[in-house]
Structure 1
Amino acid sequence: MSVIEDAAATGPEPAVPGSAAPRYGRQTPPSPTERHWTEPLAESEISEVVALLRADDRIGARPRFWGVSVDEDRARDLAAGYGRPVRAVVMNPDAHEAWEVTGWTSGADRPASLETWTPVDARRPGISSEEARMMAQACRQHPGMREALARRGITDPSLVWVDPESITGFEPPEFAGRRLSWGAVWHRETEDDNGYARPVAGLVPIVDMETFEVLRIEDHGARTPTTEAGNYRSGTWGPDRDIAPLEIIQPDGPGFTVDGHLVRWQNWSFRVGFTHREGMVLHDVRYLDGDRERTVLRRASINEMYVPYLDPDPTAYRKNFFDWGEYGAGPLTASLALGCDCLGEIRYLDAAVLNGHGEPRTVRNAVCLHEEDASILWKHVNTRTGEADVRRSRKMVVSFFATVANYDYGFYWSFHQDGTIDLEIKLTGIMSVTGIEPGRTARHGRRVGADVQASNHQHYFGLRLDTAVDGPRNRLSEIHAEVDPDPELNPYGNACRMVATPVRSEAEGARSSDASRAVHWLVESTEGTNRFGDPTGYRLVLPNTTRLFAAPGSVVERKAPFVSRQLWATSYAADERFIAGEYPNQGPLGDDGVHVWQQADRSLDGAELVLWPVVGVHHDPRPEEWPIMAVHRIGMKLEPDGFFDRNPSLDLPAPEPAHDDGCCH
């Protein structure tokens, strides 16, 4: 969904519990002249770029900004200590103009500078939290809005929230050319009330996001918002239950090291980056196999999120968002707290972001690094001898959380001792609801409260994996299971074979998952082989998928063509950065993105391969998810498939039994 307009105000962030303790403290970042190119920009680097932008007359007296990030393609081979190339998006709302600006931060080799100013359609940069607050205030002050609120019994506009929502595909023709948003309106009975529990039914303002003029107020019938409480704070629903303490300790400290943003754990190493649009990014993922440091991934990120709502209600049918491309994950990243979000021996990384007014701020504890026990890794009991062997599993977890208005999303990359990498996405927060008349059936959703329904909707996460399995150039195959059709080779009818279909070019690179055929994908090296003579590889498994339940030709269907498949494959190109395209906000539906790039039909055999997996979930709401939703988990997995010659975790020590009657080895 959209940016919450009451999100963290500008100014110092509150202290984060546990963040000051040296044992769990954040790492002291290196100076800008020591930074590796993959590391997040520092506040000082952002400030010097913004200062140069402000010095240019073309941005006017009241510029707005939508992020500064490292230009990764130009930075890929830079050594630490040098200035870094950057891209920034800046707008002049008074002139209805916007630009993508390239430049350099300062370094040992150069002062900070700007290079190119490329005009961008002024409607298309994403919406910042600061613009969201200004839009909401304009709505609260508008006489027409106040009258519409009064018709619903709401006389104190200060208790009203307005979230600016993406209008892409639903722009009224009479406002063509304007940078627009429509507002989802919510009411609180008190300052500490859960506003997302009280939708203002039937009321939709449409606002010019450059002038903040309220252009139109749609009123589809006044109804008083629900009076049922929707709070979820401690003590609201009776006394808290008793819970015994559960402590996670590592007396000798964590089993990983952090050097700047380079993390090493067991045989894994990787670098942690951060961007305005994607939030946390992983770079240069490697595995130390004996005395060989082997590459696995060049880059991994949650590249886009698409959330379509499947309800014709006048306050819901326009809800379909690119939460990253139309708002940005970086500024929406939450500060994490020890004992609350993370348990154990924790290390944190901060991240600097740029707000809509051009002011840098630091998200403290933006990224959490910790180890977790992961139950049994492998086990066998020799019943003939009575000997038992077991190894416990632990994993290295790197995570961040983004709060996108009502929803909260956690992204957990885990590295395992058997060479597996998986991504777990945790969906929680508050469902987006609409008002419903008493006694009316919730045909396109589910009643979750008095006069409140949660609409059917979906969440799609477009991932980006730049593969580097044993080298920079890889190839891709799709694997499926089938009954062996040759009767001579299948005399008993039970012979199954795994069939590999090479994906040779981009024209073949849009793939569909099918659990009934055990479909998965294999990324193979063009250089490395294992002891059996097979190319070394990694297997991609996507257990969480859904199809789009929208009519062909609908706005929802045309806006995000990438959700029609579960995997896309392309050859790396510097300007093909985001699965939904560079500037999806208010753009022609489907004009850019992976489905367009695929038409170039470049070879994928021995390419710098970029995979775009799509993880999806269809959300059929439940009353038990109200007024706040317990975590729902989905994800994907990368596991070695011929990358190693045998189980790589055979060197793990046996655990010590806690009691004499136990046996571990």
Structure 2
Amino acid sequence: MTHSRHWSDPLTSEEIAEVVALVRTDDRIGLQPRFWGIALEESLARALATGQGRPVRLVVMNPDAHAAWEVTGWTSGTDRATASLGSWTPVDAKRPGVSSDEARLIAQAARNHPLIVEALAKRGITDTSLVWVDPESITGFEPEDLADRRLSWGTVWHRESADDNGYARPVAGLVPILDLETLDVIRVEDHGVLPMASEGGNYRSGTWGPDRAVAPLEITQADGPGFDVDGHEVTWQNWSFRIGFTHREGLVLHDVSYRDGDVVRPVLRRAAVNEMYVPYLDSDPTAYRKNFFDWGEYGAGPLTASLELGCDCVGEIHYFDANVLDGHGEAKTITNGVCLHEEDFSTLWKHVNTRTGESDVRRSRRLVISFFATVANYDYGFYWSLYQDGAIELEIKLTGILSVSGIDDGQMPRYGRMVSPNVQAPTHQHYFAVRLDTAVDGPQNRLVEVHAEVEEDEELNPFGNACKMVSNTIVSEKDAGRMADSSRAMHWRIESTDRTNRFGESTSYRLMMPNTTKLFAKPGSIVERKAPFVSKHLWASAYAAEERFITGEYPNQADLGAEGITAWQQADRPLDGAELVVWPVIAVHHYPRPEEWPIMPVARIGFRLEPDGFFTRNPSLDVPAQESISSCHAPAAAPAAAHSGCGCGSGGSCHCGPGAGHHHG
């Protein structure tokens, strides 16, 4: 369907190009500028009419002058014939994130640097074309004498052939310190030569034996999908929302609402994975510096993998392209970056009346909006699911290749697991901070913590089995860092402060977080001070336009813990009846298994939002019985689907193959 550009639509390649073209006319950026992202200024854009020019922020660096700026501007639109620029605000040159293009520049320069060549020769490696160097964030570990420089440190890998899995062969003991601006190797730490991995790590079909026999499993929707897409607006059964996409966060959902009868009721104004923190818990010299803000120091948008050739979605698929600004200032289109499809999800509800023999059952289906980001060795899938009963879930799928280190003959790792001869996988953690701008039945909400307690009053509990649910309203930000506790049936209610249900309760959604952990690092350690937000499982704040990211605007080489959610909490703003922002922090403690080598089966974590007094009764009573959709019995011959299978395109052709991923080396 034809549509006009909505304020929340992802930036187009034309919008990106027209703003960059204006930036390039300014002499201060020098002859070889580098860029780190362009973003919509959402707080301003939300009030604009459809089709108008849109406010943006762009980060540009002049590496020759050790300078960087955040540039504001406007794209062209119905209210302006051409794009324009606004302010140029200086940014500490160390602190913009590292683009994939900047990473590739330093990787190529580093592997041929004399210091690296010499260190590799000690290990019998002479063909540097088979060497990867991954520049890693160094925040908190900057050498004192280099504190003013834009830095990185390198992990080094070796392949036995061009198509080998380099991440299976770490070059142990070798740590280069890199200058990202000059593309120079400042120094090399050499902690001693260890044996290289003696066993390959290829994971392609046939490497470890013949493929097993697998019967075909067809997913068909003969009448097409149940969703409608108009530009970036999606409607599905009672749900409606808009698809957004940003450089920092990747996929964003805007204005998530549920139609209840004749009324469209808002639930979330905005939802996105806001940050990812991955600390490694190993003192090995090639591992102790590993702790990354993968979104704030690199960016989810440009790391998004194209799903065009992958079997990532099956059934009737709708893809959305995404446009990002690369490190050289070019607009880059990620084809099929976001996938939209329906899935069967087993039983929605069921009851058998054993007195009459009557059985009622409804099949559940969900609408899934997903994208994958490849961050060097790891791959992360993010799946937002909307359900027929009004629930919302985020599932994060972790796969890819473990980040490993070398280990000497006869040794066993103290802080990890052996996964291959002379290869250890350190214990590490993954934290995902999610930003939810809530709008449960309107813009004013409150956060209420609920837990279970035994009723201690013996008059009220004469049989000892009475359990009460205790509610605690989080009234201000000083109390808005909370811990999950499944032993007390802990959960949270996001309540409307304006609407009540027929029982007089505030309408609400319930937040449940089954996947959490704590940081196993000493208080005061760099790992702990870099990411103070992981000290709690849930945060809440009052909406402020400039408070966009839980780690702050520019966390790369920032002062540890000085910005972000823990700094904002000092304002102690009231939260009861606020425009509420809720920040779930879900996490996994990853103690590796040999079965996760050489490539990980998917591990899953997530959280769930479900209506809690939001509806009058079960909202899925209107889901039709299966026999009114299709027979409950397998048909003699299943109808062919026009667009089913692995990665089907609009012409019905199916593609199963390697996706277009990303690596730093």
- Under TM normalisation by the shorter chain, which class is it? over 0.9
Distance 1:49 1:354 in 2: 11
Distance 1:526 1:655 in 2: 39
2:63 aligned residue (85, 93, 99): 93
2:521 aligned residue (550, 566, 571): 550
Distance 1:36 1:184 in 2: 43
**1:101 and 1:118 in contact (8 A); partners too:** yes
1:393 aligned residue (352, 364, 376): 364
Q: How does 1:226-375 map to 2 (within 5 A)?
A: 226-337=197-308, 340-375=311-346
Match of 1:43 in 2: 13
Match of 2:632 in 1: 658
**1:338 and 1:346 in contact (8 A); partners too:** no
Match of 1:24 in 2: none
- 1:36-80 CA distances to partner (integer Å, 9 max, x unpaired)? 111100000000010011011111111000001111111111111
1:102 aligned residue (44, 69, 72): 72
Distance 1:308 1:528 in 2: 42
Q: How does 1:75-474 map to 2 (within 5 A)?
A: 75-110=45-80, 111-337=82-308, 340-474=311-445
How many residues are matched?
Answer: 631
Match of 2:535 in 1: 564
Q: How does 1:483-498 map to 2 (within 5 A)?
A: 483-498=454-469
Q: Note closer, same or farther for the CA distance 1:280–1:659 as it changes in structure 2 (3 Å cut).
A: closer
**1:96 and 1:210 in contact (8 A); partners too:** yes
Match of 1:475 in 2: 446
- 1:205-238 CA distances to partner (integer Å, 9 max, x unpaired)? 0011000111010000012421211000111111
652-661 or 418-427, larger mean C-alpha shift: 652-661
**1:153 and 1:224 in contact (8 A); partners too:** no
Question: What amino acid sits opposite 1:273 in the alignment?
Answer: G
Q: Percent identity, please.
A: 72
CA-CA distance at 1:529 after TM superposition: 1.2
Match of 2:595 in 1: 624
Question: 2:619 matched to 1:645?
Answer: no
TM-score (normalizing by structure 1): 0.94
Question: What amino acid sits opposite 2:448 in the alignment?
Answer: S
CA-CA distance at 1:339 after TM superposition: 6.4
1:53 aligned residue (23, 44, 49): 23
2:551 aligned residue (576, 580, 596): 580
Match of 1:65 in 2: 35
Cα RMSD (Å) of the superposition? 1.1
CA-CA distance at 1:659 after TM superposition: 3.6
Distance 1:87 1:326 in 2: 17
Distance 1:49 1:116 in 2: 13
Q: Note closer, same or farther for the CA distance 1:437–1:278 as it changes in structure 2 (3 Å cut).
A: same
Match of 2:655 in 1: none
SS in 1 for 2:264: strand
Q: How does 1:488-527 map to 2 (within 5 A)?
A: 488-527=459-498
Distance 1:210 1:427 in 2: 32
Match of 2:656 in 1: none
**1:332 and 1:404 in contact (8 A); partners too:** yes
Question: What amino acid sits opposite 2:375 in the alignment?
Answer: V
Q: Which runs of 4+ in 1 moved over 4 A?
A: none
- 1:226-270 CA distances to partner (integer Å, 9 max, x unpaired)? 121100011111111111111101011000011000000010000
CA-CA distance at 1:660 after TM superposition: 10
SS in 2 for 1:448: strand
Distance 1:563 1:456 in 2: 17
528-537 or 643-652, larger mean C-alpha shift: 528-537
Distance 1:308 1:291 in 2: 48
Distance 1:458 1:232 in 2: 24
**2:274 and 2:295 in contact (8 A); partners too:** yes
**2:256 and 2:268 in contact (8 A); partners too:** yes
Match of 2:650 in 1: none
**2:172 and 2:405 in contact (8 A); partners too:** yes
Question: What amino acid sits opposite 1:244 in the alignment?
Answer: A
647-656 or 454-463, larger mean C-alpha shift: 647-656
TM-score (normalizing by structure 2): 0.94
Question: 2:503 matched to 1:532?
Answer: yes
